[in-house]
Amino acid sequence: YFLRMQRDCNLVLYLGNQAVWASNTQNWGKGCHLRLQGDGNLVVYDENGEAMWSNNKNCGRGFYFLRMQRDCNLVLYLGNQVVWATNTQNWG
């Protein structure tokens, strides 16, 4: 599995060559990057700093981490609590 920020600004989770999840932000901007903010919001920004996509979470400050699990589910955690996921676990 791998997560790729494509040149067209679409954030895509792949299982081999098959896309299993996407932010659906293709051609919305250019020079995009992914940022995990301190409040738990996972955001795709374009080169001008405009938000193209987010997981719409604002859980306050904490120790957040993003984990690609063995079951192909990309999960955002706050400690041991799930905050957000791609829900792609059945693809793995």
Higher per-residue confidence, 57 vs 26: 26
Model confidence at 27: pLDDT above 80: yes
Q: Which residues of 24-36 are buried (b: 16+ CB within 10 A; e: fewer)?
A: ebeebbeebeeee
Per-residue confidence (pLDDT) for residue 41, from 0 to 100: 93
**CATH number where 25 lies:** 2.90.10.10
- Please indicate, yes or no, if residue 21 is contained in any of the structural domains: yes
**Residue 74: Cβ-neighbour burial (10 angstroms; 0-12, 13-18, 19+):** buried
Q: Residue 48 domain-assigned?
A: yes
Range of the domain at 42: 2-86
Q: What does the pLDDT read at residue 32? A: 97
For 35-63, the pLDDT digits (tens) are 999 999 999 999 999 999 999 877 788 89
Judge contact between 36 and 76, C-beta under 8 A.
yes
In a domain, 92, yes or no: no
